[in-house]
Amino acid sequence: MVPTPIPALVAILLNKEKEKGSPLTENEVLDIRDNAVCMMLPISAREKIEESRGYLDLNPEYVWEQWQQARIELN
């Protein structure tokens, strides 16, 4: 079983950054991650969710680093 943010962390962060109107700080990103709703799912279920979304979510352990790359690609 793995913790799986619902909705995806990348979607939450993208929406929060748009609401803010400027880049999120590292502390904001970590706070959002720490307070995200997660479901404990088998790895196979998480993989099915990611497949249906069409993209992989950010790894919560590396959320700041991966968010920096994702926000460049998404903007």
Q: What is the pLDDT of residues 21-71, one digit of tens each?
A: 999 999 999 999 999 999 999 999 999 999 999 988 999 999 999 999 999
Which residues have a Cβ under 8 Å from the Cβ of 9 and sit 6 or more positions away?
32, 33, 36, 57, 58, 60, 63, 67
- How confident is the model at residue 20, as a pLDDT? 97
Burial 20-42 (b: 16+ CB within 10 A, else e): eeeebeeeebeebbeebeeeebe
Task: Please tell me which residue, 73 or 30, carries the higher pLDDT value.
Answer: 30
Residue 51 belongs to what domain range? 2-74
Q: Is the pLDDT of residue 75 over 80?
A: no
Tally of domains within the chain? 1
Q: Report d(CA 29, CA 23) in Å as an integer.
A: 10
Tell the residue number behind the tokens 């799912």, with chain if given: 41
Q: What is the pTM of this model?
A: 0.89
Q: Report d(CA 24, CA 61) in Å as an integer.
A: 17
